[in-house]
Structure 1
Amino acid sequence: MSTPALGTASPVPRRGFLAELRDALSVRGVALVVGVLALQLGFVLSYVGAFHSPTPHRVPVAVVAPEPAAHQIIDQLNALDGEPVRARAASDEHEARTLILDRTVDAAVVVDPRGSTDTLLVASAGGPAVSSTVAQIAERVESTRQRQVTVTDIRPPDPSDGRGLSSFYLVLGWMIGGYLAAAILGIAGGARPANPPRTLVRLAALAVYAVVSGLGGAILVDPVLGALTGHFVPLWIVGALLVYAVAATTVALQTLLGIIGVGVAILLFVVLGNPSAGGAYPTPLLPPFWRAIGGWLPPGAGTTVVRNTVYFSGHATAGAWWILAGYAAVGTVVALLASALLRGRSWRVAT
């Protein structure tokens, strides 16, 4: 019987295809890939579902007209099929402009009793798609009354802001940074921190990252690109809070669910949050599901705060600020409590 010569390697036994397949594709790996597939299909469903057929629903509109024409126009607008607008009266053009700029309404019809041409006031900085949709509705309604309408944009986006989408894309960038930073720290140091002090350190690091990230975003959109100017410090604060809110929530989900928590964060913030944020199509043009959830998720709340801070003097932002603060606070508390509970469970098992 021959033996291998000294200095030569023993032949490696050949493994069957099934054995190699089992080693390459673990049950955990297959489960994660299936989860990725679900997220991918959810992404397609959510974005196409939200954007494939934008339809106005109860867009708030003011009407300025002498009586009894005012009531007739309001009744006619509110009786339109599908309830595309929700009309209310305004006493004069000044009040109508105020209602638009404080975000109570999106547009206003000002009837000229001495002529045959009325004026539609809009503020396209709040969403060009809404303004153009309301203009189409007004033209259709006015044609039935044998009148014409001219559109006056009282608050357009800045020329360097294109179609007013810079607010949304700024928020999108901040949000991606928030959950990616939390996910990377989880991959590097374990999705579930070993104890509350380590969780606290991770949250503190993410808070520092959020401050720097908010500053970087504000620098880019204000002095560098000139897209959203004149509100540098408020934008910095919004960015810091938004990034930390998303990051803390991601840490909490990782602590509770492990690596799956990153997938849940992507589901919330990207798959559901982005199309419902009011970026490409503001909330009144979205289908019911996306319209209902948009304001409760950080992308929608962040877009509202940034857009209304830059263009509308911060009006109608209180609720969005509370949403962002809530995600930051609840994410922090849940992450710390979950790590403490997991630490206690591990200690009991060890003893």
Structure 2
Amino acid sequence: MTQTAAPGPSPASDPRSFLDELRDGVTPRATLLVIGVLALQLLFIASYVGALHNPKLRDVPFGVVAPQAAVAEQAVTRLERLPGEPLDPRTVADRAAARELIVDREIDGALLIDPAGTTDTLLVASGGGRTLANALVTLVTALEKSEGRTLRTVDVAPADIGDANGLTSFYLVVGWCVGGYLCASALAMSAGARPTNIRRGIIRLAVLALFAVLGGLGGAVIAGPVLTALPGSVAALWGLGALVVFAVGAATLALQCVFGIAGIGVAVLLVVITGNPSAGGALPPPLLPPFWAAIGPALPPGAGVWVARSIAYFEGNDITGPLLVLSAWAVAGAAITLVMAALRRKPESRPAAEA
């Protein structure tokens, strides 16, 4: 009589090695994403610490006023020879002209010399950044003390009492930027990073535009009438906010069209990792290292912070350049999104093979 062998363990019940579980638990795509996140984390640390760890005055536009031209020229020469070149001094005709240049954002401070006395006057504008104003006061006070003179400080464009350290404009713009790339990211994750046709691309841009209008209004109202943290025209801040949100969102949509979901990481790299520390919020441009001071005005956070402060404290002066920067980001982002959507075509369905 033939005896049937007992069934052995099925292949599915074989014990799996750790490497097998690792390959299933962490796919190659997940590995690449984790490596990308690690890179962004390290870049975030390097960018913020590199930009903000050692603030030094560099080439601050600075005016010198004196009754006699010879005295003013001597002071300019002395300031030009300071170690590290913290100031970029030039003579100014009188106090009124110096104040006008500060309000026009052409200079950041001015020294009014009184040869007949021992007390000079320093004009600053804390609305352009309290850190910068304090740094100028510290520097000029030390210079005056070394010459046996005293200093009186006048703030011609003071930061509002509700604007702690002059940072409200920075936080407001950062909030608008975050809203822009999060909205674009949500649109991508809900229906694919790359729009499949130009109509879908137009729809996404239209939704982003509506979001930008609402987000710009909400931010302006919260920072202004609700919290009284930032003075200035609510309508002007609303327009700025809508432009910032749309510019960042459109750029993020464009990057997603080019790089897929990885485009969100590229947007974070541009806006958060490089844009925020170079925006002039915590440290205005003259206090930033050269690299960050150079790139800040060309990125949405830096352009937005400059315009917000101009609206709040400087009568809306010197905003044409930054608004053009924001508009360029918005137009380029929208154009790339539409072009990439137009070029992308769904594969045509093929008839089923005959049996």
Identity of aligned residues (%): 49
Cα distance, 1:137 vs structure 2 = 1.7
2:165 is paired with a residue whose SS is: coil
1:115 and 2:95 matched: no
Aligned position for 1:47:
48
Indicate the larger mover: 39-48 or 60-69: 60-69
Q: Do the aligned partners of 2:131 and 2:165 also contact (CA within 8 Å) in 1?
A: no
CA deviations on 1:303-344 (whole Å, 9 max, x unpaired) are 00111111101111110000000000000001111122232x
CA deviations on 1:201-243 (whole Å, 9 max, x unpaired) are 1111111111110111011111210111341111111000100
Coordinate RMSD, CA, aligned = 1.9
The letter for the 2-side match of 1:49 is G
Indicate the larger mover: 267-276 or 177-186: 177-186
Shift of the 58–348 alpha-carbon distance from structure 1 to 2, 3 Å rule, reads farther
Unaligned 5+ runs, structure 1:
5-9
1 CA distance for matches of 2:187 and 2:87? 47
Cα distance, 1:139 vs structure 2 = 1.7
Shift of the 307–3 alpha-carbon distance from structure 1 to 2, 3 Å rule, reads farther
Shift of the 349–103 alpha-carbon distance from structure 1 to 2, 3 Å rule, reads farther
1:177 to 176, 179, 195: 179
Aligned position for 1:256:
258
2:94 to 92, 95, 99: 92
1 CA distance for matches of 2:57 and 2:322? 22
1:291 and 2:305 matched: no
1:282 to 264, 281, 284: 284
Shift of the 349–93 alpha-carbon distance from structure 1 to 2, 3 Å rule, reads farther
Shift of the 53–349 alpha-carbon distance from structure 1 to 2, 3 Å rule, reads farther
Unaligned 5+ runs, structure 2:
none
Indicate the larger mover: 133-142 or 241-250: 133-142
2:13 is paired with a residue whose SS is: coil
Aligned position for 1:34:
35
Q: Do the aligned partners of 2:63 and 2:111 also contact (CA within 8 Å) in 1?
A: yes
Which of these two proteins has the greater Rg computed from alpha carbons?
Answer: 2
2 CA distance for matches of 1:47 and 1:300? 14
Aligned position for 2:18:
17
Indicate the larger mover: 223-232 or 235-244: 223-232
Shift of the 266–350 alpha-carbon distance from structure 1 to 2, 3 Å rule, reads farther
1:208 to 210, 224, 241: 210
Q: TM-score, normalised by structure 1?
A: 0.94
2 CA distance for matches of 1:342 and 1:19? 38
Aligned position for 1:7:
none
1:184-263 maps to which residues of 2 (within 5 A)? 184-263=186-265
2 CA distance for matches of 1:2 and 1:335? 66
User: When the two structures are aligned, how many residues end up with a matched partner?
Assistant: 344
CA deviations on 1:132-171 (whole Å, 9 max, x unpaired) are 1111221222233322111111111111111111000000
Structure 1 residue ranges, 4+ long, deviating more than 3 angstroms after superposition: 1-4, 346-351
1:327 is paired with a residue whose SS is: helix
